[in-house]
Amino acid sequence: MGVNMRIGLVGKPNVGKSTTFSALTETPVDIANYPFTTIDPNVGIAWLPLRENCACKILREKKEQQGRMPKVVSNDSRKGSICNPKSGSCRGYKRLVPVTLVDVAGLVPGAHEGRGRGNQFLSDLAQCDALIQVIDISGSTDIEGNPVGDGGSKPVEEYNFLKNEIDAWIVGIIQSNWSRGARRVQSEGEKALSKFLIEQLSGIGVTEYHVNAGILSVKEKHPDCGVPWSWGNDELMTMAAAIRSLLFPISVAGNKADKNKNSELELSSIVKSQGGKLILTSAEAELALRRASKSGLIELNPDTSDFSITNMGEKSLSRAQRDALANISQTLAGLPGGGLLGLLSSVVFDRLNRSVAYPVQDDSHWTDGEGNILPDAVLVSEGTTAKQLAYTVHSDLGDGFIRATDAKSGRVIGAEYQIQNGDVISIHAKK
C-alpha cells in the first residue's frame, strides 16, 4: 500500500537538514560542514507513532471479555498488541505508520532566479504537502550557510528568507504570462483572473480555493489596488504569500538548541502567527539515540527521549557510553515539544488534518484474506470517503466498490461515508 503524503525538509545549507533527515528516517546520508552537501533530494520513510492506541487494543479487549484470549502477561514482548502490520510495527498498542520525507537540496538567496540549486529545490518542493524548515536556532551560520559563530545571525531572518523565496518563485510563474492574463481579464472580466491563475499555477498544485484566497488577500491588504491589470509586484507578492501559506504550510525545527536558544521566543511567536509550530531540538543528539536503538543497545520510547538499556547494551556499553547516552537523553528532555517526531506528528495530524483508517476484509475478525489482523493503517486526508479509501487500498476495489461496513459497529455504510479517525472499514467490491 503506497504512502500518499510527502513532507519536505527545507532550509539553507549547513543547518543540519541531512542530520535531521537521518534522525527521522534512520537513513545514512552525506553529512558535512559545507554548502550543498545535499545535491539531489534524499527520500526516506519516517515511522510516526499514532496519537491514539491501535485498534487492536479494542479487538483484544473484546476477545478477552468473550473468553477467547487470555489477559496480557508481564513478559509479553509486544505488551498486548495483536495486530500484524504489513509495514511498521505495533507494541503496547503504539502503532507506527510510514510518512515519506524528502531532504530537499540546500537553499540560498536568489533560488527563485535559479541561483545555487534553486530550480531543483523549487521543483522538489512542489511535490510536498507540507514543509519542515530546519533552522540554526543558535545563529551560527549566515544566510548563505557559512559558519559565523554562535549568535552571528538571526534565525527570524532565516525563517522569513524561505517564505520570501517561495513567494518570489510563485510571482515569477505568474509574471511569465501576466500581460496575456491581464488582457484576458480586461476582455472577459474579473472571473477570468481566477481561471488564468489556476492555469499558470496548476503545476505546483494550486486550486481555485488557493487563488481565491490570494485574490481576497490582495483586496484586503491593498484596498486601493485598482483593477488586476494595474497590479504591481507588491500586490502579486501579497497574493503569492496567501497561496504559499495554504499550499506549503511551514513548521520549524529549531536545531542546535543545545548550543544556544536565545532566539526561541521571537521566532516561536512568528511561526505560530503563521499557523505553524516550532520545536527546539538537537538533531545530532536525536540521531545518536536512534542509532543506539537501531543497533539494539537501547530500547527507545518513540514518543520521548527516554530509553532503557537492552540485554545487548548491558553486555556491550561501557560506563562512559551509558553516561553519554543518559546525558543526551537529559538534554533532549529539557527541550519541550517532543523532538523531531513530535514536530512531525503536529504537521501530519494538526496541520494536514490526517486521520488513520484500518481497511480489512473480514469485518468480524478484522483481518485480511490471509488472516492477518489489522494489517494496514492508512493515513487519509479530511473528508476521505469510503470509496476513496477503497482506491487507496487497490484500484480494483475502488472500481468495483459496492458498499462498506464499519467493523466496530457492524453498520453498513455507503460510498460517500466520510472516514473518521480510527475507523475499521471492510470494503465489499465486485470481483
Q: In terms of pLDDT, which residue wins out, 38 or 371?
A: 371
Of the pLDDT bands very low, low, confident and very high (cuts 50, 70, 90), residue 36 is very low
Residue 164 CB neighbour total at 10 angstroms:
17
Are residue 303 and residue 233 in the same domain, yes or no? no
At 38 the pLDDT is 40
For residue range 62-77, list pLDDT tens digits in order.
999 999 999 999 899 8
Three-state secondary-structure class, residue 322: helix
Are residue 112 and residue 124 in the same domain, yes or no? yes
For residue 318, report the phi and psi dihedrals to the nearest 5 degrees. Answer: -80, 170
The reply to whether 395 falls in a domain is yes
Are residue 262 and residue 123 in the same domain, yes or no? yes
The reply to whether 386 falls in a domain is yes
Distance CA 61, CA 108 (A): 54
Are residue 242 and residue 146 in the same domain, yes or no? no
Are residue 119 and residue 232 in the same domain, yes or no? no
Contact 105, 124 (CB under 8 A): yes
Alpha helices in 222-282 (DSSP H): 233-247, 264-273
At 107 the pLDDT is 66
The reply to whether 344 falls in a domain is no
Three-state secondary-structure class, residue 44: strand
Of the pLDDT bands very low, low, confident and very high (cuts 50, 70, 90), residue 336 is confident
Are residue 114 and residue 172 in the same domain, yes or no? no
Are residue 34 and residue 108 in the same domain, yes or no? yes
Measured CA distances, 394 to 1, 92, 387, 397 (Å) = 8, 29, 11, 5
The reply to whether 345 falls in a domain is no
Rounded average pLDDT over 393-411: 93
The reply to whether 408 falls in a domain is yes
Residue 197 CB neighbour total at 10 angstroms:
24
Are residue 242 and residue 254 in the same domain, yes or no? no
Say yes or no to pLDDT of 120 above 70. no
The reply to whether 350 falls in a domain is no
At 29 the pLDDT is 47
Task: Specify the number of domains making up the chain.
Answer: 4
Give me the domain span that covers residue 327: 284-334
